[in-house]
Chain A
Amino acid sequence: MYDPDRLIDELARTAGPVSRVPATWVRAAWLIPLALLLGALSSSLLHREATDWAAANARVAIAGALLSLAIGTFCLMSALSVSVAGRVVRGKYWAVALLLLWIALAIASIGSPAASAAAVVQGHHGTPCFVFVTLAGLPMILLALLALRQTRSLTPVRSLALTGCGAAFLAFALLALCHPTELSLIDLVMHVAAALVLGGSAILLGRRIIAC
């Protein structure tokens, strides 16, 4: 049988003091505000009109924005948590409930088919939203990768998928500040597409960086 004592002696001889990783909530406390700031700065390159909060569906839009913020925060905190060995995602059933609510609100925000068709004719075909979400989300992902590098991850794909999801929803929250309160179907599709791009990008960019 292999005798690991030699390896243990060598590891112990070269081991020095280490700085323990702070608790997840401490790491999230600086990561999430900074991510939102970076997302806002990068997306400010795009010219967009502020949301008309007096418009119809404004309350639904506000609720959707708050839900996006909550889901994004949950996803990023979970990504930080599961990057440490032995930790699990807590509150996932609540997160699923929030997600279903978010989907319901998004569908409720969809205007009439005629309004959606008119929006397409006018050039509101969802591409600007796609660009906004990816432009806002990518710096957030890069920032999250810096945070995840501190712990590495034994399950990098899971951590990165949560990171991409978190960045997408935080970007949705920012988008709500400069988006019509009424969605078109193509809008919603492009939002989802942007979220998938962010998720894929997080995995592609970060897999080697944070793998242990």
Chain B
Amino acid sequence: MRKAQDGDQAAYRDVLRAMTPVIRLLAKRQVVDESLADDVVQDVLLTIHRLRHTYDPDRPLLPWMAAITRARAIDALRRSGRFRHREVADDARLAEAVDPASPGFLSALDAEHALARMLDALPQRQRAIVEMVKLREMSLDDAAAESRMSVSAVKSVLHRAFARLRQYGNEWHV
């Protein structure tokens, strides 16, 4: 990790790969849902990337990593809890609400509200990136600059967001 902080990209890659199984294990202790655990792992990796300058190489790595994982897992559980309390857990009605071909479309809930609820299903970072790129029609470069991430990381987050939305029966066009 010291080498990674000094700019050794190969060492950084190795550290992140070595950390990932441990992060997943720690995340699954708090988050039962597999998909949610995957989101937590992604969030933790991004957070580690943002906070890597705060790690003291003279101290053990595990408490630092575990604290970040715990915080992100709690955030994910809170968002998941809000989703469960507010949303209709009915995939058929949800698909109907956003499918214009559906016979029930006209009688479905307001499209704008449905969109807002779909976005609420996403973790905070994924939602922010989707809003920037798809709703505010920002370019990837602008979204990367605003979110202080690289363009590649933005693409990766978008990919995960779309996968999650598809999971709930919606098709987005990139």
Whether chains A and B associate is yes
Indicate if the CB atoms of A12 and B13 lie closer than 8 Å.
yes
Q: A5 contacts the other chain (Cβ, under 8 Å)?
A: yes
Q: Given A4-B42, A10-B153, A14-B150, are A85 and B5 neighbors across the interface (CB < 8 Å)?
A: no
Considering only CB atoms and an 8 Å cut-off, how many residues of chain B contact the other chain? 41
Complex contacts, B20 vs chain A, CB 8 Å: 4, 8
Indicate if the CB atoms of A8 and B13 lie closer than 8 Å.
yes
Q: B78 contacts the other chain (Cβ, under 8 Å)?
A: no
Chain A: minimal CB distance from B123 (Å): 13
Indicate if the CB atoms of B53 and A18 lie closer than 8 Å.
yes
Q: A42 contacts the other chain (Cβ, under 8 Å)?
A: no
Indicate if the CB atoms of B53 and A86 lie closer than 8 Å.
no
Indicate if the CB atoms of A154 and B67 lie closer than 8 Å.
yes
Indicate if the CB atoms of A20 and B51 lie closer than 8 Å.
no
Closest chain A residue, CB of each to CB of B66: A86
Q: A114 contacts the other chain (Cβ, under 8 Å)?
A: no
Which A residues have a C-beta under 8 Å from some C-beta of B? 1-2, 4-21, 23, 84-86, 151-152, 154-155, 212
Besides the known contacts A10-B152, A85-B63, A86-B63, 10 further A-B residue pairs in the complex with CB atoms under 8 A apart: A8-B17, A8-B20, A12-B9, A12-B10, A15-B4, A16-B7, A19-B53, A84-B64, A85-B55, A212-B47
Which B residues have a C-beta under 8 Å from some C-beta of A? 4-7, 9-10, 12-13, 16-17, 20, 34, 38, 41-42, 45-47, 49-57, 59, 63-68, 71, 150, 152-153, 155-156, 160
